[in-house]
Structure 1
């Protein structure tokens, strides 16, 4: 049995929200996010090896439900599928503007020593000021979308995408549910999955936020627009792949 080891570092996306030009504001309503993959865990996302990894923003080893997050300090939601060839669509979680994209890296690293696969290769985002922000981990092929609703502003990150699958470009306005790419295994990744991260503008900086509603989530009361389509048994993650 092979153990799926942690592949992300704790990340605080601290950079000024003012470094980004403002998109058009959406209607005055709470900003909630839709499930970012076009499949249902435990049904048609994958087979026996499907798992979900949950955020642990406080680094306490507890997910939103006070259970195991997958590993301590995880900053997003991992949605794991059977294979890159499954071509599982990745969907925009809300209306917004595409701010950053990166493509062309391996779908599955042939050698962990390859520079594209290295755990210490940190993904950076160029800012309009000429500076760079860091995601704190090797995100591989990725898309970042900027969302503004009322007085709230968020970024969503879709990481480890399949090479060549991206269907959007920087600056493009897209709608919730738009197909933007496919689940892959690029960057520092050992199994096909989507790393979905949400970052909220707080005090002029973007910081990670947990979208799952539960007693151990201190960052939000839940940010999903509907109950995510997953099987309760899948909450028990060991990150083991047979």
Structure 2
């Protein structure tokens, strides 16, 4: 991997961890970071699978077919028990919610909610959709059809569904395709 690519990856992780606003296309409301890194320390543990990409140490930065970005919370199980909020990345309307699945999965194969466990899908005014998965049991605070504001708390980090520990699995869908959220940081999702 080139030095420039490693620097871009590092800069991306730092920007996410710093909870900076992430510009989207000019026709859409900017997307915001879906967690509270400033107060709780979130770290990226798995990136969107680009195929063949590696991290700064020449190791894998994802796993085959991973179609989102995983944000783990510092303090893991203890932090999950205390509660770590998940926020809507932009204003929109709640498309789907699923809650009630056990949230102590550490084997990666607990199922439920289509593998996402407790989750929320939001459709934004420009048609972009966001998914927030593996949420804590009974933490979903929104309902199908509800309008949400950017930064509104919608749930809590958990480990439900096909999960191996407390984290938020975050996906962005545009034009029916899941996309890597990192390019949003440079102002373009087109």
Instruction: Confirm or deny a common fold (TM above 0.5).
Output: yes
TM-score (norm 1): 0.57
Shift of 1:60: 2.8
Please identify the structure whose Cα radius of gyration is greater.
Answer: 1
Q: String of CA shifts for 1:24-75, please: whole Å, max 9, x gaps.
A: xxxx7344311101224xx7326xxx5432111x433457xx9742323321
Query: Which consecutive residues of structure 1, in runs of 5 or more, have no partner in the other structure?
Result: 1-27, 124-137, 213-221, 227-242
Is the Cα–Cα contact under 8 Å of residues 60 and 73 in structure 1 kept in the other structure?
A: no
| CA distance, structure 1, for counterparts of residue 163 and residue 63 of structure 2 | 15
Is the Cα–Cα contact under 8 Å of residues 34 and 89 in structure 2 kept in the other structure?
A: yes
1:1-242 → structure 2 map (5 Å cutoff): 29-40=27-38, 44-45=40-41, 50-56=43-49, 58-62=50-54, 68-81=60-73, 82-83=76-77, 84-109=80-105, 117-118=110-111, 123=114, 138-149=115-126, 153-201=127-175, 206-212=176-182, 222-224=183-185
| CA distance, structure 1, for counterparts of residue 72 and residue 107 of structure 2 | 21
Identify if the C-alpha distance between structure 1 residues 197 and 224 changes in structure 2 by more than 3 Å, giving closer, same or farther.
same
TM-score (norm 2): 0.72
Number of aligned residues: 156
Identify the structure with bigger relative contact order (alpha carbons < 8 Å, sequence gap 6+): 1
| CA distance, structure 1, for counterparts of residue 28 and residue 95 of structure 2 | 21
Q: State the partner residue of 1:238.
A: none
SS of residue matched to 2:136: coil
| CA distance, structure 1, for counterparts of residue 36 and residue 118 of structure 2 | 19
Identify if the C-alpha distance between structure 1 residues 192 and 146 changes in structure 2 by more than 3 Å, giving closer, same or farther.
same
| CA distance, structure 1, for counterparts of residue 184 and residue 180 of structure 2 | 8
| CA distance, structure 1, for counterparts of residue 67 and residue 117 of structure 2 | 16
Identify if the C-alpha distance between structure 1 residues 225 and 108 changes in structure 2 by more than 3 Å, giving closer, same or farther.
farther
Query: Which consecutive residues of structure 2, in runs of 5 or more, have no partner in the other structure?
Result: 1-25
Identify if the C-alpha distance between structure 1 residues 111 and 207 changes in structure 2 by more than 3 Å, giving closer, same or farther.
closer
